[in-house]
Chain A
Amino acid sequence: MSLWDHLPVLVVIVPLLAGPLCVLVERPLAAWGVALVAAWLSFAAAIVLAMQVADTGTISYELGGWAPPWGIEYRIDTLGSYVLLIVTAIPALVLVAAKESVVSEVPEPLIARFYGAFMLAFAGLAGIVATGDAFNVFVFLEISSLSSYALISMGKDRRALTSAFEYLVMGTIGATFILIGIGFLYMMTGTLNMQDLAARLPAVSDTRTVRAGFAFLTVGIGLKLAMFPLHLWLPNAYAYAPSAVTAFLAATATKVAVYALLRFLFGVFGFEFALLEMPFDDILMILGLAGILTASLVAVFQEDIKRMLAYSSVAQIGYMVLGISLASTTGVIATTLHLFNHALMKGALFLALGAVMYRIGGVSLRDFAGLGRRMPWTMAAIVIGGLSLIGVPPTAGFITKWYLVLGTVEQGLWPVAVLVLIGSLLALLYVWKLVEAAYFEPVPKGAATVREAPWSMLLPIWLLVGANIYFGIHTEVTVGLATQAANELMGLQP
């Protein structure tokens, strides 16, 4: 077997090994270098994998040469390769910007460990996507969660500690639920391989155990996903974590949880059981809509911009959940598209907040007064990212809105379509609050002169901003992959 055949595992192994290596080299700059190289290698591997999947279809990789169902199978299909692209691209870009911002936000002795934890979280997230084994999902979930707790607690603000603890409690409950759910499924089917589970579950799906397992799994994933009303840990965790961590987690962690939800609902249980037999589609729709509206509304009244965008994330998760609840191809396309597009917008926005934090030292609304003149490039990025969040054409956000509204209209769900659009208008409100502060408020008296952010920050920010516009106009790749993935997910069922 050549190196190319090992790509499915390399995507995960490279960051996993880079983690301890970062801690071993100890010097901040060296640790950063190791992390950066590993992240870009992993990203390159993900690109090649995506091309391989596009050429030859789903890739199945036997870990250690053990054939499934005895060994662990890594299984990369279109959806997997697509999510892997996001999960590897975002940390690769975040790390470029992280060098400066981490030095200013994390105490120096901790920096090497910071990068170590960062790479472990990265490996965990990539692992969840790559693996085809249900128990393995849990293991990687724990790797990524434990390291995220550590990452969040390294924030400058002392409240980071309590919010990391809050997240730890909620996250552990979620992980336990997932473990219980997987255990129930194993009990009934005797297998942990997702393909096998999918084949064997229909025969026993009418049992209370499977249903209980289903409930545990979905609630557990819902916690990780920060699905309304299980989102309470998220705003604090995002608000107090170091900027680089927020950008990384906001753009990847919740996306991976959505992926896991899609995987279990469509790939393991099958959407007929998951959404139609269990009344889960209605539950998801109500929770999704409630998330969109309440979280957007709460976001409008936030003074801390990081927290505002965190609530916006909860709302955006609502859109993804809503797409799933439609139980139609268009709905799943909308969800998978938003997975990608939302990573682009939130990545850009949180990185830009990191730049503001780096120069101004805070990201509450009053710190933004007059920022349009002081940091024009950063603010312009925030405006474009915000427009994408609202869903203004020609940005990526518009494409998602289009498919989501189309999905609801196709099923005649008018009120839902209207609520989705109201959600967009709420986004207009909270984004514009920021724009008005930055361009209309005068610079506070006595404020130190501030220069534009360093190019190492502007470069990844503007790459993501550019991607927001590019994928709003040229959608062959995103819509193509999302359509293919949705067809595979929906087609799995006979």
Chain B
Amino acid sequence: MSPEQLLTWIPLVPLIAAFGVVAARANPNLREGISIGAGVILFLLVAGLAATIDWDAPPTLVMATPVAGLSLVLTPEPLGMLFALVASLLWPITTVYALGYMRAHHEDNQTRFYTAFAVSIAATMCIALAGNMLTLFVFYEVLSVSTYPLVTHAGTEKAKRAGRVYLGLLMGTSIGFLLLAMVWTWSLTGTLDFTPGGVFSDEVSGGVLGILLLLYVFGTGKAALMPFHRWLPAAMVAPTPVSALLHAVAVVKAGVFTVLKVSVYIFGLERIEQLLVAEWLVALAALTIVLASTIALRQDNFKARLAYSTVSQLSYITMGALLGVATGAIGGGLHIAMHAFGKITLFFCAGAVLVTAHKSKISELNGIGRRMPWTMGAFAIGAISMIGAPPFAGFVSKWYLLSGALQTDQVIAVAALIISTLLNAAYFMPIVYAAFFLPEDDGQAHASHGEAPLPIVLALSTTALFTILIFFFPDVPLSLVQQMVGG
């Protein structure tokens, strides 16, 4: 297939899968088969596109022109390609996991679940491959709406309230700030295309650019920069596969991806470096990193601790983007991939513990590693990768982020990275220690369990393996991210 055809099919495959899921609702095995099959095909398509693409003349796909002179258009670009690769690789793995999880947990409305999941993936692909800011925004909103039924899947009062926070914050910021920033940019420059070096001419004053940057960064609620982070812990009410793929990979990465794209292609890194506002935002990101880690430390709920850890890790990427140097942006771009593999593994483990041992609190995990060695082993790998120690994926991106921060002499950024590494260790390592080295508590309700169901173990081992493999073979993500900054 030609790159153009590949580009056409990439958003279509998950959409068709969504219809297939609805059509096959009477036969659960076929239904999940469609999801997994579509996931594999999607990954092959994305990989094929990444392998054959000519970065000097990337293919484009114009879907429509809703505003005069402004199209909905897909144009692959290196960072987006990386995001699409990660998301499409993890979709089939998550579906395998979901198959084990949703059935073991006896969840209702599974057809709705898999349909909304496929639509969310289609939206994620369009975000990743968006050729201009309008396209990105349109599918950003589609993603918010299509994940709402997933977040509120349980249909309980708690889910309803979480849904309010979720949609309220995500849509409130995007309509209130991001849309305004976009229209303002459009009226200033007449373009919303992602342009290497940025779109603003020198006549646009620093003050205006500063306000615009604030609007863009706060408008991207999905990046979970404080004080707009509360939707992410709220979204943990969703079934674990959703938290794993969407709220550790697709949705949150769509947010930081937007921040990266805006800094590299709308403002240009050189402009960012000159803006005072960017330094404030770096400080705010640093604050988010440390504060969210501190909050994570105090969470006893397993998924809540992971969620606050995600809030903290997302700000790594926001910080990397706003440092205004190539190394920082490279670190941020890499962290999109690195954090994805590590965090999805951690969520898979949390879900595995929930469905197998019916435990959702960290204080209950003493000795569980002996009953679930695969699960907790994978957890240990994911956790060390989060901390950023070799030989795991997290080390690579943290290295770049730290060098970027050192280059710009922003002491606060350097300090935040170091402190948070310690905090990461402080909130992850006790779990690993307790799971393997502490004796089991007596008199438990579900004492007779063993390892998690096979699809779950399979999925979490695969993602854990990836965190190791990427450390040794970082070429694909690294070359793509360097292409973004260099090209």
- List residues of A whose CB falls within 8 A of some B CB: 387, 390-394, 398-399, 401-403, 405-406, 409-410, 417-418, 421-422, 424-425, 428, 432, 436, 439-440, 472-476, 479, 483
Contact = CB atoms under 8 A, between A and B. Distances in A.
Contacts of B67: 399, 402-403, 475, 479
B391 to A, nearest CB: 44
B439 to A, nearest CB: 43
B183 A436 contact: no
A440 B155 contact: yes
A425 B65 CA distance: 26
5 contacts: A393-B141, A394-B66, A402-B179, A409-B187, A436-B163
Contacts of B159: 440
A79 to B, nearest CB: 18
A424 B175 contact: yes
B180 interface: yes
A142 B19 CA distance: 51
Contact of B183 (A409, A422, A472): A409
Given A393-B142, A406-B183, A440-B155, A425 B66 contact: no
B111 to A, nearest CB: 12
B160 A410 contact: no
A391 B178 CA distance: 14
B479 to A, nearest CB: 33
B125 interface: no
A421 B171 contact: no
A394 B180 contact: no
Nearest to A401: B179
A436 B161 CA distance: 10
Contact of B142 (A391, A394, A409, A476): A394
A474 B179 contact: no
B183 A405 contact: yes
Nearest to B173: A425
B207 interface: no
Contact of A405 (B68, B164, B180): B180
Contacts of A387: 145
B412 interface: no
A394 B126 CA distance: 13
Contacts, number: 83
Contacts of A432: 164, 167
A425 B183 contact: no
Given A394-B138, A479-B66, 10 more contacts: A392-B145, A393-B138, A401-B179, A402-B67, A402-B183, A424-B175, A425-B172, A428-B172, A432-B164, A475-B65
Binding site secondary structure of chain A: helix
A474 B180 contact: no
A439 B187 contact: no
A432 B164 CA distance: 8
Binding site secondary structure of chain B: helix
B184 interface: yes
Interface string B150-192: 0010010101100110011001100110011001101100000
Nearest to B188: A409
Contacts of B142: 393-394
B228 to A, nearest CB: 14
A417 B187 CA distance: 13
A387 B148 CA distance: 13
Contact of A421 (B66, B157, B175): B175
Contact of B179 (A399, A421, A428, A479): A421
A436 B165 CA distance: 13
B186 A406 contact: yes
A483 B155 contact: no
Given A392-B145, A439-B155, A473-B72, A418 B179 contact: no
B149 to A, nearest CB: 8
A484 to B, nearest CB: 12
A422 B176 contact: yes
Interface in B57-75: 63-68, 72
Interface residues of B, number: 31
A418 B181 CA distance: 11
Contacts of A410: 187
B308 interface: no
A278 B65 CA distance: 38
A205 B184 CA distance: 38
B162 to A, nearest CB: 11
B62 to A, nearest CB: 12
Contacts of A417: 180, 183
Nearest to A480: B68
B186 A473 contact: no
A33 B21 CA distance: 41
Contacts of B152: 439-440
B66 A474 contact: yes
B64 A473 contact: yes
A421 B180 contact: yes
A425 B175 contact: yes
Contacts of A392: 141, 145, 171, 175
B40 to A, nearest CB: 28
B137 interface: yes
A417 B65 CA distance: 23
Contacts of B160: 436, 440
Contacts of B171: 390, 392, 425, 428
B179 A406 contact: no
Contacts of B137: 393
Contacts of B145: 387, 392
B68 A479 contact: yes
Interface in B332-367: none
Most buried by A among B67, B68, B183: B183
Contacts of B164: 432, 436
Contacts of A406: 183, 186-187
A418 B180 contact: yes
A421 B172 CA distance: 9
A472 B64 CA distance: 10
Nearest to A474: B64
B66 A483 contact: no
Contacts of A418: 176, 180
Contacts of A479: 66-68
Interface in B193-233: none
Nearest to A394: B138
Contact of B168 (A393, A405, A421, A428): A428
A418 B183 CA distance: 12
A387 B144 CA distance: 12
A220 to B, nearest CB: 35
Most buried by B among A392, A424, A483: A392
Contacts of A401: 179
A399 B66 contact: yes
Given A392-B141, A393-B137, A472 B66 contact: yes
B215 to A, nearest CB: 10
Contacts of B68: 479, 483
Most buried by A among B63, B68, B168, B179: B179
Contacts of A409: 180, 183-184, 187
A483 B168 CA distance: 34
A480 B163 CA distance: 38
Contacts of B176: 418, 421-422, 425
A401 B175 CA distance: 10
Nearest to A392: B141
A439 B180 CA distance: 31
Contacts of A473: 63-64, 66, 72
A26 to B, nearest CB: 47
Nearest to A428: B171
Most buried by A among B65, B175, B184: B175
B459 to A, nearest CB: 30
Contacts of B167: 428, 432
B318 to A, nearest CB: 23
A418 B219 CA distance: 13
Contacts of A394: 66, 72, 138, 142
A422 B173 CA distance: 11
The 7 closest A-B pairs by CB, nearest first: A393-B138, A473-B64, A440-B160, A405-B183, A409-B187, A475-B66, A406-B183
